Amino acid sequence: ATVAWAGPAPRRAAAAALGAALLAPAGAEPAAAEGGKDLGYVPAAVFAKKVGETVTTPNGLVYEPLELGSDGSGPRVGPPRSGSVVWVKYTGHTESFDGPVFDSSKLRGSRKANKPDYVEIRLNLEPSITNGLNEALKLMKVGGKGRFVQPPLLSYSEGRTPFEPDDEGDVKGKVAANATLFYDVELVAIVKP
């Protein structure tokens, strides 16, 4: 499954290779969050300033913005904080950005009566959303689109399944323990700052 706005496959493959290289520097483990902060903490100095600039958080999350989003400021523009309620479009892959899809907002939305292609998430309070996705969203502004390489520290543990897989589609649902995950993400709105 390919997200239409995610760009051509060679560019995604290059970003996946870059992400893999950044995640494995000489056998080092991703750093714990600074100053005893919770997973998902993002220091202000980590934000990308332009499209294509790759940044890495203290926890090892690698982010490349495809679109920066709103150039305004304020709580409804972003970036969102812990506890904010946001609308998000995303596709999560294993192996690479072109790898098997294990989760998507489109699948989760299709299970609701009005069939939205986005999901509503309360940052750091939604149990089925990884710490990495929570952290990634805090790097974005409304309208922003990007891709993230999420290290095992911020992923599902013990091979947890985020939800029941879609047997008729390409969404597998199951994630191996200690897997690196790859996300295409769009921050649609901040509903409650």
Question: pLDDT tens digit string along 2-53?
Answer: 333 333 344 444 444 444 444 443 333 333 444 445 555 666 667 778 898 9
Rounded CA gap, 68 and 66, in Å? 7
Flag whether 174 is in a domain.
yes
**Full domain range(s) for residue 101:** 4-23+56-192
Radius of gyration, alpha carbons of the chain: 15
pLDDT in tens, 97-131: 999 888 889 888 777 777 788 999 999 888 778 88
Task: Give the whole-number percent of the chain exceeding pLDDT 90.
Answer: 34
CATH of residue 107's domain is 3.10.50.40
Length, in residues, of the chain: 193
Flag whether 39 is in a domain.
no
Flag whether 47 is in a domain.
no
Flag whether 68 is in a domain.
yes
**pTM of this prediction?**
0.71
Residue 39's pLDDT is what? 54
Residue 44's pLDDT is what? 60
Flag whether 46 is in a domain.
no
The number of domains in the chain is: 1
Query: Residue for token digits 């985020």?
Result: 162
Residue 123's pLDDT is what? 92
Flag whether 172 is in a domain.
yes
Residue 43's pLDDT is what? 63
- Helix, strand and coil in the chain, % to nearest 5: 20, 25, 55
